[in-house]
Amino acid sequence: MKTILLAAGAALVMIAPATAQEGADSASTTRVYACIDVADDLERLACYDAAVGRLKAAEETGDVVTVTREQVEEVKRDSFGFSLPSLPKLVMPKLGGDDDSEIKEMTIAVDRISRGGDGKFIVYLENGQVWQQIESKKVYYSAKRGVENVTIKSAALGSFRMQFDDGVPFRARRIQ
């Protein structure tokens, strides 16, 4: 009896991943698009109904998630300064994942600016990002006039250059 239970358990462990994979494959838009090629009207409708039903069920369980181009662009803006290596693999091939779609520069409103114990700037942006000056270069800004915006540009070797309004650019890294 134990042997039968162990064999049944082992079979379930091997079948479960295959079933999950089959479910993910059967809930793709490719299956929906394949229905275009069905010549008979009733068969084509049955094909669409089945494919859309699988897609809807997968979306309801969370196996499939729809992401709009606008949402991808928002993630790109929010993650500017951080490395997200899995993001391009997930959505960029179909949404212009080439180098031209990469954000290379942003101008963002400043919430506040402070100085760390080493005298380097810590810049808090209105979108929640926090950047820190990483070079010893002396950078000045008028606290009386205030800084309304900061421009951050991608630089060589994954580094970034920050500039207060029309001030002198300096190297910075995102810390939050």
Taking the domains of the chain in order of start, what are their residue ranges? 2-61, 69-101, 105-174
- Structure confidence at residue 100 as a pLDDT band (50, 70, 90): low
pLDDT at 119: 82
Q: For residue 41, what pLDDT is reported? A: 94
Would you say residue 114 has pLDDT above 60?
yes
| pLDDT of amino acid 22 | 47
Q: In the prediction, which pLDDT does 168 show?
A: 84
CB within 8 Å of 75: residues ≥ 6 apart: 84, 87
How far is residue 136's CA from residue 117's CA, in Å, rounded to a whole number? 13
pTM of the model: 0.55
Residue 53 — left, alpha, or beta (φ > 0 → left; ψ -120 to 50 → alpha)? alpha
Which residue would you say has higher pLDDT here, 166 or 60? 60
Bridge partners for 133 per DSSP:
172
Torsion on CA atoms 165, 169, 175, 176, rounded to nearest 10: 20
Lowest mean pLDDT among 18-27, 84-93, 107-116, 148-157: 18-27
More confident call, 104 vs 142: 104
Percent of the chain residues topping a pLDDT of 90: 14
Q: What is the pLDDT of residues 35-50, one digit of tens each?
A: 999 999 999 999 999 9
pLDDT the model gives residue 40? 94
